């Protein structure tokens, strides 16, 4: 007898042997017990999870001479023929190579004939999503009202490509990716049956590379068996598959922690010498830091990490050595390296540069933590009379509050007094002194920056009064006549421009809140506002006789006069 690959030799022959799909096999067995099976099933899931195997087991359970039964005997003629793939009543079709409408029409004609020697005629159509649109249309009528002796079982890795009309006529079962533990247990049992000596960490690596597919894991396992006739080790598997040894990744991590550039360069040189695939190394290093992130974030990381207990302990030892922000930055650096290599960059130079960037990288610190510490230090300095840490020169002029804690506190109190509103060119105040935003820039700096991109928007900003500033937002209040400025500032596109400039100027993402205070009228005596007042024509002519001559020459009647500044406008 010719050699059978492991995936075929150990294909499950009962529902109980199917790995990690009990939610499906139990449902099918119960349906068969209750004689409530459907005329059409859809098995969806990634490759190597047992879709076709379960379809054959279902066919066997329905057509067993003792059945329909949830536990086929595997001894009768029907069971043996289905196992061998020679049953006339169980037809397997590959939709990838039979995509046309003519193939489906032929299927419909054959489906009308009764089974040769079984209870049901069962059609197993693999990769059903590959059928053409007209083929789906041709299948629809038969699927809706099939003959009583016909059952369809569809298998697909891409169920979203199926028309809704097909999906609605099937019982759908979703096959899960096989968990790491179930995969390693299955491989270990198979190794015992084949009398193969293999270490647990080697089994773990095979299961990891199988990526939830038992068939893929068995293919790798078979390749490994052919490579070595002695005990199979993790190192041997890494050598066969061109994988990067996890120990190397841990050593590089230690170099990053200890900032050991010399050791890191030696490890990189060793990789080039041994012929490690750099692209594979980047992928494995990213996966390595993903695991570190999971260890940092989860109370039970073993549920999410497909690794042996030996390496799990090593990852647990790294907990807290890298902050989550450090991990994000490292993965980004590796992703940039991946992009550069795809663009044709020299792997020797760029890999060394990327590793040195990781080694020289300073640990991340949250901006909120920095601001809190600076604020605490600033408050402490102000209380004991030490120099203020917020001291800095303004771009538009000196700020008397910087460098002088007492002056700063006084100015802040004055600025926040509702009777003395803040003007547009004042330094940024804060209604919460203990959490004052640490920035050397004034509000005028921000307006000047906006002016460089959009002068009209900057002019609208200058008409408002800065009434509040905290760690999240800036509040700008306009007087009762400031509706136009308010509308201009609150336009969505202008809000985006302002928030972008605030990020640059203040070093923090802030939201600008603009409002109009209808209770506050413009100050008629303010030099910043134009003077507006009404007068009678007689009062005007008495004050400006020349206007009387102009009115008489026009022959009109002046009913009212409104003076704006030094100019007059009339209605007549």
Query: How many H-runs (helices) and E-runs (strands) does the chain carry?
Result: 25, 11
Whether residues 158 and 203 fall in one domain: no
Whether residues 82 and 222 fall in one domain: no
- Residue 503 belongs to some domain of the structure: yes
Q: Other C-beta atoms within 10 Å of 246: how many?
A: 23
Sequence-distant (≥ 6) Cβ neighbours of residue 527 within 8 angstroms = none
- Residue 527 belongs to some domain of the structure: no
- What's 209's domain CATH number? 1.10.8.60
Q: Which long-range contacts (CB under 8 A, 24 or more apart) does 331-337 make?
A: 331/286, 331/289, 331/290, 333/357, 333/358, 333/361, 334/282, 334/285, 334/286, 334/289, 335/286, 337/282
Tokens of 425: 């060119």
Tokens of 180: 């790491």
Q: Which pLDDT does position 515 carry in this prediction? A: 86
Q: Lowest mean pLDDT of 265-279, 327-341, 497-511, name the range.
A: 497-511
- Residue 281 belongs to some domain of the structure: yes
- Residue 425 belongs to some domain of the structure: yes
Q: What is the pLDDT of residues 529-570, one digit of tens each?
A: 444 445 556 666 666 666 666 666 555 555 555 554 444 444
Q: What is the pLDDT of residues 44-89, one digit of tens each?
A: 999 999 999 999 999 999 999 987 999 999 999 999 999 998 899 9
Q: Which pLDDT does position 40 carry in this prediction? A: 92
Whether residues 232 and 333 fall in one domain: no
- Residue 365 belongs to some domain of the structure: no
Whether residues 435 and 536 fall in one domain: no
- What's 256's domain CATH number? 1.20.272.10
Range of the domain at 325: 246-360
Say if residues 51 and 45 touch (Cβ distance below 8 Å): yes
Whether residues 453 and 398 fall in one domain: yes
Whether residues 291 and 321 fall in one domain: yes
Sign of the C-alpha dihedral computed for residues 189, 190, 192 and 197 taken in this order? negative
Say if residues 501 and 450 touch (Cβ distance below 8 Å): yes
| Strand bridging mode 511-516 / 473-478 | parallel
Closest-CA residue to 454 (of 406, 498, 400, 415) = 498
φ, ψ for residue 424 (rounded to 5)?
Answer: -65, -25
Say if residues 204 and 170 touch (Cβ distance below 8 Å): no
Residue 306 predicted with pLDDT over 90: no
Over residues 456-468, mean pLDDT: 84
- End of a domain among 309, 340, 360? 360
- End of a domain among 150, 174, 198? 174
Whether residues 236 and 250 fall in one domain: no
User: Considering the chain, what is the average pLDDT of its residues?
Assistant: 78
Sequence-distant (≥ 6) Cβ neighbours of residue 75 within 8 angstroms = none
User: CA-to-CA distance for 13 and 16, rounded, in angstroms?
Assistant: 8
Q: Looking at the 3D structure of the chain, how many domains does it have?
A: 5
Whether residues 386 and 346 fall in one domain: no
Tokens of 472: 């999240």
- Residue 1 belongs to some domain of the structure: no
Whether residues 345 and 416 fall in one domain: no
Q: What is the pLDDT of residues 112-164, one digit of tens each?
A: 888 888 899 999 999 999 888 888 888 888 888 888 899 999 999 999 999 99
- End of a domain among 360, 378, 405? 360
Report how far apart, in Å, the C-alpha atoms of 37 and of each of 16, 40, 171, 280 are. 19, 9, 9, 47
262: left (phi over 0), alpha (psi -120 to 50) or beta: alpha
Alpha helices in 399-491 (DSSP H): 405-415, 443-453, 455-462, 483-489
Say if residues 478 and 463 touch (Cβ distance below 8 Å): yes
Sequence-distant (≥ 6) Cβ neighbours of residue 140 within 8 angstroms = 165, 166, 169
Alpha helices in 179-308 (DSSP H): 180-193, 200-210, 214-227, 234-241, 246-258, 261-274, 278-297
Residue 520 predicted with pLDDT over 90: no
At 200, the pLDDT band (50, 70, 90 cuts) reads confident
- Residue 206 belongs to some domain of the structure: yes
Say if residues 73 and 100 touch (Cβ distance below 8 Å): no
Helix axes 180-193, 214-227, angle to 10 degrees: 40
- Residue 524 belongs to some domain of the structure: no
Q: Other C-beta atoms within 10 Å of 371: how many?
A: 18
Whether residues 213 and 253 fall in one domain: no
Say if residues 126 and 97 touch (Cβ distance below 8 Å): no
Whether residues 417 and 338 fall in one domain: no
Whether residues 500 and 551 fall in one domain: no
């Amino acid at each position: 007898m010719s050699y059978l690959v492991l995936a075929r030799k150990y294909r499950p022959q009962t529902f109980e042997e199917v790995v990690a799909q009990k939610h499906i096999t139990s449902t099918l067995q119960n349906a068969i017990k209750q004689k409530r099976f459907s005329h059409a099933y859809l098995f969806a899931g990634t490759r190597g999870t047992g879709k076709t195997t379960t379809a054959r087991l279902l066919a066997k359970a329905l057509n067993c001479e003792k059945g329909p039964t949830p536990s086929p005997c595997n001894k009768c003629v029907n069971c043996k023929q289905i196992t061998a793939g020679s049953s006339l009543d169980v037809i397997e079709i590959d939709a990838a190579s039979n995509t046309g409408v003519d193939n489906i029409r032929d299927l419909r004609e054959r489906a009308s004939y009764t089974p040769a020697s079984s209870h049901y005629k069962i059609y197993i159509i693999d990769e059903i999503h590959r059928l053409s649109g007209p083929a789906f249309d041709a299948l629809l009528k038969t699927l809706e009202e099939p003959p009583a002796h016909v059952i369809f079982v569809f298998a697909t890795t891409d169920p979203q490509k199926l028309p809704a009309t097909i999906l609605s006529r099937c019982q759908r079962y979703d096959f899960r990716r096989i968990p790491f533990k179930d995969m390693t247990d299955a491989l270990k049992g198979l190794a015992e049956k084949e009398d193969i000596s293999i270490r647990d960490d080697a089994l773990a690596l095979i299961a990891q590379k199988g990526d939830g597919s038992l068939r893929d894991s068995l293919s790798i396992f078979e390749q490994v068996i052919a490579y070595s006739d002695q005990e199979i080790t993790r190192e041997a598997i890494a050598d066969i598959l061109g994988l990067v040894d996890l120990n190397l990744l841990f050593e590089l991590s230690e170099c990053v922690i200890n900032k050991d550039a010399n050791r890191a360069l030696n490890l990189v040189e060793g990789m080039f010498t041994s012929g490690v695939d750099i692209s594979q190394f980047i992928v494995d290093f990213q996966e390595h830091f993903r695991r570190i992130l999971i260890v940092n974030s989860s109370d039970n990381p073993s549920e999410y990490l497909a690794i042996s207990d030996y390496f799990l302990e090593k990852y647990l030892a790294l907990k807290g050595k890298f902050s989550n922000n450090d991990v994000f930055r490292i993965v980004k650096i590796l992703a940039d390296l991946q992009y550069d290599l795809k663009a044709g960059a020299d792997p020797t130079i760029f890999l060394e540069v990327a590793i040195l960037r990781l080694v020289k990288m300073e640990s991340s610190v949250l901006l909120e933590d920095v601001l809190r510490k600076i604020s605490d230090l600033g408050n402490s300095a102000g209380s004991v009379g030490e120099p203020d840490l917020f001291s800095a020169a303004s771009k538009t002029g000196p700020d008397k509050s910087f460098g002088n804690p007492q002056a700063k506190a006084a100015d802040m109190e004055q600025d926040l007094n509702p009777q003395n509103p803040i003007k547009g060119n004042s330094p940024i105040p804060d209604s919460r002194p203990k959490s004052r935003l640490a920035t050397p820039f004034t509000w005028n700096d921000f307006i000047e920056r906006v002016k460089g991109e959009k002068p009209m928007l900057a002019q609208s900003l200058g008409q408002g009064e800065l009434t509040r500033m905290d760690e999240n937002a800036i509040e700008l209040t306009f007087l009762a006549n400031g509706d136009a400025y308010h509308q201009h500032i609150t336009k969505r596109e202008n809000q985006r421009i302002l928030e972008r400039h605030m990020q640059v100027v203040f070093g923090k993402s802030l939201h600008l809140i603009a409002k109009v205070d209808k209770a506050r009228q413009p100050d008629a005596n303010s030099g910043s506002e134009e003077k507006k007042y009404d007068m009678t024509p007689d009062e005007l002519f008495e004050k400006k006789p020349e206007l009387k001559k102009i009115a008489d020459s026009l022959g009109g009647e002046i009913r009212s006069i409104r003076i704006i500044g030094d100019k007059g406008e009339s209605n007549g």
